[in-house]
Amino acid sequence: MTATFSNYQDYDAYAPADYAVWKQLAERQLTALRAVASADYLQCLDELHPVLSPNHPPRFTDLNERLAAAHGWSIKVVPGFLPVNEFFELLSNRRFCSSTWLRSEDQMDYLEEPDMFHDIFGHIPLYLNKDYAEFAQRLGALGVKYADDEERVTQLQRLYWFTIEFGVLRQEDGELKVYGAGICSSYGETKHVFQNPEVQVVPFDLDTVLAQDFVITEVQMKYFAIRDFAELWKVVDELEARWA
């Protein structure tokens, strides 16, 4: 398709093959997530239907209407990975960046960089959740404030990675649920969290997370479980107090 490197979503460029890939990805992931995703993620996903559904690739203008009405967010189309300072600036202004290209059928289970399915199906639903949306904006604002402090920017990237990208949640009854976009958009990662006996799931600890390195091309072997999204607010409060 021709929309890969556009600075807007050329919706008419999506071919029948794109519709088929989107449908297969979305249906497979909906089935995988119903029993293991956080109630908040699933509720937001349901609220976005039919704007976000297996039946067609999402139209960003429609998603933006829903996001703006909820908590003032919108989608910023980008061609690929952004410099970290630009990324945090977008978050601070309640804009989430997304590509418009969609993987091909032979890339169903692995991509070297995020496509529209990861960006939209994985990330966008939870921006209807007030606590989550506020956490993302505040994290971005910290990234802007400390853009010239390499150590703090690295720590914020780790915090983003182990919450927004690969976050998990431990309910009061001890049951594990997932909410991170890197899990919610990946069939393999969803299975990996629950089926790999070598995976570690530990309680979220801010100091440990800030010191935890990650490699974006490797599957995660350690996850940090929060209790609820309100806990993420406390994380930002603590960082603001530490760094004041």
Give the pLDDT confidence score for residue 123 in this predicted structure.
98
Which residues are CB-contacts of 174 (< 8 A; sequence separation ≥ 6)? Answer: none
Give the pLDDT confidence score for residue 156 in this predicted structure.
98
Residues 198-227 have a mean pLDDT of 96
Closest CA to 169 of 227, 235, 215, 102: 227
Three-state SS letters, 154-186: HHHHHHHHHHHHCCEEECCCCCEEECCHHHHCC
Q: Is the pLDDT of residue 5 over 50?
A: no
Q: Using CA atoms, how far apart are residues 122 and 126, in angstroms rounded to an integer? A: 9
pTM beyond cutoff 0.75: yes
Domain borders along the chain are 11-243
Give the pLDDT confidence score for residue 108 in this predicted structure.
86
Q: What burial letters (b/e) apply to 188-214, b meaning 16+ CB within 10 Å?
A: ebbebbeeeeeeeeeebebeebbeeee
Give the pLDDT confidence score for residue 133 in this predicted structure.
97
CATH superfamily to which 11-243 belongs: Aromatic amino acid hydroxylase (1.10.800.10)
